[in-house]
């Protein structure tokens, strides 16, 4: 994936959403732009709520040949027939999860700002590594993944890299030459028309060429 002309889109669902309305919103986004993957990233630990959300999102995504991965919950991802899992613990469980889910499943992981964790994840069989947030925020200790990290990764590591968190137009333009995917969450869901927001992001990506 490192030789693609432009970064691809990777959508991250809101931590909470209404099952009655979100499938329509997600459908509009997937119809508005070429999205490669969707991550179901609910904050709840309620198995039933996650399962019901996965069912509706899976129908929307798979109808459009878009992969759907689940944050963290490996057993549920397998049971629900999803395409894989996104791990939030850096490289620690990549090897074990790969063994559990097999070679066909998508196994990705978030490595915050750690070059070492990212390299370890790649060596352990991750399909992609994500770094972020891409800019300082008031959350956590304010640390963020700097441009230099993405520049280095794109030059040295073949495993695809995702930039996610606190993205804006300026950052997208700067990162476009160094990442394989932009992970978009609140950047579009906070807008009144997420599909239109997604189309605008696409314009920014393509203008960065």
In tens, the pLDDT along 42-67 reads 999 999 999 999 999 999 999 999 99
Confidence band for 169, pLDDT divided at 50, 70 and 90: very high
What is the full DSSP assignment across 136-204?
--SSTTS----HHHHHHHHHH--S-EEEESS--HHHHHHHTTT-SEEEESHHHHTSSSHHHHHHHHHHH
- 102: Cβ contacts below 8 Å, ≥ 6 apart: none
pLDDT of residue 3: 39
Domains of the chain: 8-207 (3.20.20.70)
Looking at the whole model, is its pTM more than 0.75? yes
Mean pLDDT of the chain: 95
- 58: Cβ contacts below 8 Å, ≥ 6 apart: 68, 80, 81, 82
What is d(CA 196, CA 179) in angstroms, rounded to the nearest whole number?
23
Whether pLDDT at 140 is above 70: yes
CA 38 remoteness from chain centre: 7
Q: What percent of the chain has pLDDT over 90?
A: 92
pLDDT of residue 139: 85
């Amino acid at each position: 994936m490192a030789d693609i002309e432009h970064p691809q889109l990777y959508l991250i669902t809101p931590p909470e959403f209404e099952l009655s309305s979100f499938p329509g919103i997600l459908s509009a986004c997937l119809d508005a732009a070429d999205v490669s993957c969707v991550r179901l990233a609910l904050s709840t630990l309620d198995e039933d709520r996650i399962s019901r959300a996965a069912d509706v999102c899976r129908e929307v995504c798979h109808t459009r040949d878009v992969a759907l991965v689940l944050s963290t919950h490996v057993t549920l991802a397998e049971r629900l027939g999803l395409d894989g899992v996104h791990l939030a613990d850096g490289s620690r469980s990549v090897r074990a999860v790969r063994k559990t889910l097999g070679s066909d499943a998508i196994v990705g992981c978030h490595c915050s700002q750690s070059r070492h964790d990212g390299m370890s994840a790649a060596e352990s069989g991750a399909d992609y590594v994500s770094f972020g947030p891409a800019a300082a925020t008031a959350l956590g200790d304010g640390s963020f993944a700097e441009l230099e990290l993405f520049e280095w990764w794109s030059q040295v590591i073949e495993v695809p890299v995702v930039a996610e968190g606190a993205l804006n137009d300026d950052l997208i333009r700067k990162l476009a030459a160094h990442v394989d995917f932009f992970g978009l969450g609140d950047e579009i869901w906070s807008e009144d028309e997420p599909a239109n927001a997604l189309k605008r992001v696409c314009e920014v990506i393509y203008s960065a060429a």
